Structure formats: C-alpha cells, structure tokens
Amino acid sequence: MKTLLIISDTHNMGLSSLPERLLTAMDEADYILHLGDGEADIQALKRCYGGKLLFVRGNNDTTGEKERTEVIGGCKILLTHGDLYGVRTRLEKLAERAKAEGASCVMFGHTHRQLITEQDGVTFINPGSLRDGGTYCYANASGGSIYAVPCRI
C-alpha cells in the first residue's frame, strides 16, 4: 500500500505557514502530489522531499508538465491542474482524457473546491485549495484501487 498526500492551489503560501501535523503527514507519506498553482511552493517541496514529490503545472505556473500519468499502488492516475478541461462546470472532458490514457483515477485542482467522486468508471479527486480553503486529501493506493479522504488543516 502506498500513501499519498494531495495538495493544489497553494498559490505560494510558503511551507512555513503549514501546521506541524500537515508537515508530519508529508514526511510520512510515500508521495506528495501537487496539482499546480504554487510554483514557489513546488520548488520548496522539491528541495525538502525530492523524488517523492510529483507535480504538474497550473495555469499560474511557468514550469513543469501540464499533465502526467503515474502508476502508484497498481493504480494508473492522470495528474493535471484541470484548467484545460473545463472542470469548473463539467467533468466529461476530463473523464474522456483519463480513459484515453487508460487511467482509472484523475487528480486535479483549479476549482479551489474539494471533490472526491466516481463518474463513468473514473475516480476524480480534487483536494481543493490549501491556501484558500485549507483543504487537501489523503489517499491510499493498493492493488490497482485508490481510496481518498477529504482533509482540512
């Protein structure tokens, strides 16, 4: 089983502003996933956590890939910020993209609204905004399945 701490839309809030329990959870997680919009935070996380950080570029970032797929705990996951898929109103385009990649899970941000749902055979996880709502997600991936829970700082 692999553990994942999923964040997005930190908008350069700085690691020093995070509560100790969240930093401890990051230390203990197998992976930290940042889904964009927080380039300075991503750089700081890279310095602290190196290879256990996986990230994508948000619409307010200038570096990094816009999307990527990863297999974690046997589960193929599409990571994207979401701005390219109209996620503020609908998830159908994102579901189509996930299926084209063979991913059973999509993790995205952009909306600043936390969401964990399943639609048309795809699990969608949006941790919300760590900066604007104090929300993130914690997940376990094992045997090709993923289970995520919403969290708040």
Count of beta carbons in the 10 Å neighbourhood of residue 19: 10
Which residues, at least 6 apart from 141, have a Cβ–Cβ distance to it below 8 Å? 1, 2, 4, 72, 73, 74, 75, 77, 147
Which H or E run contains 133?
none
pTM summary value = 0.97
- Per the structure block, which two tokens stand in for 100? 């084209």
pLDDT in tens, the chain (153 residues): 999 999 999 999 998 889 899 999 999 999 999 999 999 999 999 999 999 999 999 999 999 999 999 999 999 999 999 999 999 999 999 999 999 999 999 999 999 999 999 998 999 999 999 999 999 999 999 999 999 999 999
**143 three-state secondary structure:** coil
Which residues, at least 6 apart from 47, have a Cβ–Cβ distance to it below 8 Å? none
CA dihedral (126, 127, 132, 135) in degrees, to 10, reads 150
Sorted by where each begins, the domain ranges of the chain are 2-152
d(CA 140, CA 97): 23
Task: Check the CA dihedral 23-71-99-81 and report its sign.
Answer: positive
Confirm or reject CATH 3.60.21.10 for domain 2-152, answering yes or no. Answer: yes
First-residue to last-residue Cα distance in the chain: 24
d(CA 141, CA 16): 28
